[in-house]
Amino acid sequence: MKVTPLDMRQAQFRAKMRGYDPDEVTHFLSEAAYELEHAVREIDRLRQDLVRSETTLNEHREREAGLRNTLLTAQRLADQIKDNAEQEAKTLIREAEGRADLILQKAQHRLVEVERDIHEMKLRRRDVEGQLEASISSLTYALEFMRAQDQAERDEKTLLHRPKAAESSTPALRPVEPRPRVAAEARPQVAVAAGPQVVPPVAQVAEKVG
């Protein structure tokens, strides 16, 4: 049976012979009721403190769980960011290597083209030099041929206009016949080996110049 401080204060006992002093019993019960009441209040206070402590502890546990979840989330996010950064760096490196290879290939291709152009220009230069040499040789031969003809014509005119007295006193000289043009025209054409152009015959060149 649960006894409260009020029950102890209001308790009534039957009187018997040679029993306890009612005043002492009442005083003792009053003191015991006070102590019991004080103990009950302390227990209630402790219970309330325990409830508050449990509530605070639960709050701390929830906060701890939230912080733990936050830390785990932050760790996963950091790992994800690190992985993404590594993947992006690898992608950038591959793209840079690809661009470098492409640039190198273009540079090599351009170098081959430049070398081919230089080779073609050298060939053209040799062709032009050959054509110029052939043209110079043809013109030189034509000029010499024209000079020889002019000299022959002058010698022929000199012999024709010489006085008869001089002719009688001097032995007859055989007139110098001009060189026939057939020989000049029969001269083979000079062609340039390195180019498609053909140099005209020397006689034709001489006729054009004359």
Q: Are residues 14 and 74 in the same domain?
A: yes
Dist CA 178 CA 157 (whole Å): 11
- Report yes or no on whether pTM surpasses 0.85: no
* Domain limits for position 51: 5-87
Within a domain: residue 92? no
Q: Are residues 199 and 145 in the same domain?
A: yes
From the CB of residue 131, how many other CB atoms can be counted at a distance below 10 Å? Answer: 17
Within a domain: residue 154? yes
Within a domain: residue 113? no
Within a domain: residue 121? no
Give the number of domains in the chain. Answer: 2
Of 140, 147, 151, 144, give the one whose Cα is nearest residue 190.
140
**Residue ending a domain, choose from 87, 119, 141:** 87
Within a domain: residue 196? yes
**Residue ending a domain, choose from 56, 87, 118:** 87
Within a domain: residue 114? no
Within a domain: residue 49? yes
Q: pLDDT (tens digit, 0 to 9) for every residue of the chain, 210 residues total? A: 566 777 666 767 666 666 766 777 777 778 888 888 888 889 999 999 999 999 999 999 999 999 999 999 999 999 999 999 999 999 999 999 999 999 999 999 999 999 999 999 999 999 999 999 999 999 999 999 999 998 988 888 888 876 654 444 444 444 444 444 433 333 444 433 344 444 444 444 444 444
